[in-house]
Structure 1
Amino acid sequence: MNASAKNVPHPLRMNSSGFTLIELMVTIAVLAIIVGIAAPSISTQLANQRVKSTAAMLENALKETKVESVIRRQALEFSFDDSTHSMVTKTKGVSPDEVASYSYSSKSIIKAGKSSITFNPSKRADAVVYNICDKNSSVTMQVIVTAVANISTAAGGTC
């Protein structure tokens, strides 16, 4: 390549190197259009992922509370507070001790008929359906707790 560049006269060699301002502006404009098209899709995907993450965290916290209740042989109360975006497991009784606490994304919303449920060592619990959604997404997940303390996750529900 150097041999062929040496054969070109000096004024032409200086004018033909690099990009013009117009070429750079067109490239930046095309990139801006592509980013503008992709941005809404990416934010929707992030919101959907937050819903799935919060549902998985809630399901795991409920399962841990159920197992801990059996191990400790005492009733445990699981509760959530959507204003502080936290979930807490406590022993049930006169002086409740905190067993575990969890926090979830401030953009996630959890709705349920009850804000707290009790898991008994006999593997029984209050039946509750939790609906999880996000402020920026239309996707909703459900975490279902049955009276026999079966815990499952399903798509659907309303917030």
Structure 2
Amino acid sequence: MNASTNNLPLTPRTTNSGFTLIELMVTIAVLAIIVGIAAPSISNQLANQRVKSTTATLVNALKEAKVESILRRQNVTVIYTNTTTPKTIRLQAGGNDISSYSISDKSVVTQTITPSTVSNIVFQPNKKMANNATVVYTICDSGSNSETPKQVSLTNIANVNTLNAGSC
């Protein structure tokens, strides 16, 4: 028996590696659809997170001002500046800065003080606001219109309350 190499069966290619162009195009199309659906939701979540962060910063600044006025036994003034970058909340006692807080540039904080003749919030050591003032801050985000606005209210006895209310 003379074996020749011409009579051997052909072996099929068993090492097929890689993807076809069609498979790659279908995968990319599915990923594009998923990203297109998820992108608006992610931007809304980021806007809501900015509103929550700004609200927490504002509440912390107001509570610190109240405590500092009691501890220092002098008036502490809260100054909100929205004309600088970044926007800041400064606490001052006796004309000197105690602390400063930065707020995101995309956050919009609207301050309403009653009576309207009062321009800055002043915490007194007797745990009250100067001029019997009350304040309402409304916090929104300029990057999105679908976020839930928050309000921080400050009573004349210096109690700080947070609400999911207001309009942007």
- TM class by smaller structure: 0.7 to 0.9
Q: Deviation per CA, 1:17-73, whole angstroms, max 9, x where unpaired?
A: 321011011101100110011001000000001001100110010000000000000
Per the TM alignment, residue 152 of structure 1 is displaced from its structure 2 partner at its CA by 1.1
Q: Distance in 1 between matches of 2:91 and 2:136?
A: 18
Bigger proportion of residues as helix: 1
User: Superposition pairs for residues 4-153 of structure 1, below 5 Å?
Assistant: 9-10=11-12, 12-14=13-15, 16-84=16-84, 85-92=87-94, 96-114=95-113, 116-125=120-129, 126-135=133-142, 136-138=144-146, 139-153=148-162
2:6 aligns with none
TM-score by length of 2: 0.83
Structure 1 stretches of 4+ with a deviation exceeding 6 A read: none
Q: Distance in 2 between matches of 1:17 and 1:102?
A: 57
* Contact 1:48-1:137 within 8 A present in 2 as well: no
The runs of 5 or more residues in structure 1 that have no matched partner are 1-7
* Contact 1:81-1:87 within 8 A present in 2 as well: yes
Q: Distance in 1 between matches of 2:145 and 2:68?
A: 34
TM-score by length of 1: 0.87
Per the TM alignment, residue 83 of structure 1 is displaced from its structure 2 partner at its CA by 2.1
Aligned partner of residue 28 in structure 1, secondary structure: helix
The runs of 5 or more residues in structure 2 that have no matched partner are 1-9, 114-118
Q: Distance in 2 between matches of 1:51 and 1:25?
A: 39
Identity across matched positions, percent? 53
